Amino acid sequence: MKIGYVGTGIMGGAMAGRLLAVGHTLFLYNRTSAKCQALAAQGGMVCESPADVAERSEVVFINVPDTPDVAKVLFDSDGIIDGAEPGLVVIDNSTISPAATRRFAGRLKEMDADYLDAPVSGGDVGARQGTLAIMVGGELAVFERCMPLLKVLGARVELVGPVGAGQTCKAINQLFCAIHMLACCEGIALAKKAALDPAVMVDIVSSGAGGSWALKNLGPKIIAGDMAPGFMIDLLSKDLRYTMELASEGGQPLLGTSLVQQLFQEARQSGLGRQGTQALCRVVDSLAKNLVQGLD
């Protein structure tokens, strides 16, 4: 198929690369065009605008940081809407507001274009390996038509409801990611304090009931002092804002999520926003140092 991909950062670049590798013709756009060059070297075609991408494509994927970014890609001058022909499908892999997603889909429907919100989970590792979990909102017929593409990107692809449901599910997913990350940081910190080899602890706990994706994949990075981002603190903090908005709309208190949201905000204020989410360990370590100093 003729596929467009707008947003070729850490996640989008890897996902677009998988689509290219299985033989699809790929049209690319990224605000920083240099981020398209690796894919261009593999045969992808770099376009001048999202409109240019849409004009050449049957399906356009979007993977950008936040709701306003998706709005710009879709509706600004030279946005997708300016190049869209009837029958175009837009698949948004970004993590954004569920309410805004429904509005976006409505505007595209007026042009006879279809929209799937399809946020993903599994980090940069899952993006490279094609093992992402993809939670999709949209119409069944559109979902089934796009399933061959989505299966290139994910090991688990599920239609969870109508448009907006994918983003709702992703907001809940980020609740788990954040709380698991805090548990991972605290568990490793406690192992060190208790003179237990943290690598041994991570290995054995990962294979039991206390295991998680965060512990298995990011625990070793914490131990090694590797804070390079697979997924940045800035982005998870943004996602948690949508989780808390969803909770507020439904009248559901989220005590653990509220706490971990505050800790990630503290990490951002400490200059860690561009680091991987595992850099939350720096905040946990800082809290321990402050406690010791207070006792002294």
Summarised one tens digit per residue, pLDDT across range 173-218 is 999 999 999 999 999 999 999 999 999 999 999 999 999 999 999 9
List the chain domain ranges.
2-161, 168-295
Q: How much is the average pLDDT of 35-58?
A: 96
The whole-angstrom distance between residue 46's C-alpha and the CA centroid of its chain comes to 23
Residue length, the chain? 296
d(C-alpha 184, C-alpha 4), whole Å:
37
The whole-angstrom distance between residue 111's C-alpha and the CA centroid of its chain comes to 28
Q: Provide the pLDDT for residue 230.
A: 87
Beta pairing partners, 91: 61, 116
- Whether the per-residue pLDDT at 150 is higher than 60: the answer is yes
Q: How many CB atoms lie within 10 A of CB 43?
A: 11
Question: What's 275's DSSP letter?
Answer: S
Give the residue among 104, 106, 52, 119 at the shortest CA–CA distance from 82: 52
Beta pairing partners, 29: 6
Q: Provide the pLDDT for residue 157.
A: 98
Tell me which H or E stretch contains 288: helix 280-295
- Whether the per-residue pLDDT at 102 is higher than 80: the answer is yes
Q: Which of the listed CATH numbers 1.10.630.10, 1.10.1040.10, 1.10.8.420, 3.50.50.60 matches domain 168-295?
A: 1.10.1040.10
Average pLDDT, the chain: 96
Q: Provide the pLDDT for residue 292.
A: 62
Q: Provide the pLDDT for residue 290.
A: 77
Which residues belong to the active site? Answer: 170
Q: How much is the average pLDDT of 10-25?
A: 96
Q: Provide the pLDDT for residue 289.
A: 83
Confidence bin at 288 (pLDDT 50/70/90): confident
Is 102 in a helix, a strand, or coil? Answer: helix
3-state percent breakdown (helix, strand, coil) of the chain, nearest 5: 60, 15, 25
What is the rounded (10 degree) CA torsion for 217, 222, 225, 227? 70
Same fold, 2-161 and 168-295: no
- Whether the per-residue pLDDT at 269 is higher than 80: the answer is yes
d(C-alpha 122, C-alpha 171), whole Å:
14
- Say yes or no: domain 2-161 is CATH 3.40.50.720: yes
Q: How much is the average pLDDT of 117-127?
A: 94
Is 76 in a helix, a strand, or coil? Answer: coil
d(C-alpha 242, C-alpha 117), whole Å:
15
The owner of tokens 């976006």 is 104
d(C-alpha 222, C-alpha 191), whole Å:
12
Q: Provide the pLDDT for residue 97.
A: 95
The whole-angstrom distance between residue 214's C-alpha and the CA centroid of its chain comes to 14
Q: Provide the pLDDT for residue 296.
A: 57
Beta pairing partners, 159: 136
Give, in order, the Cα–Cα distances in Å from 274 to each of 81, 174, 185, 253.
Answer: 31, 17, 18, 29
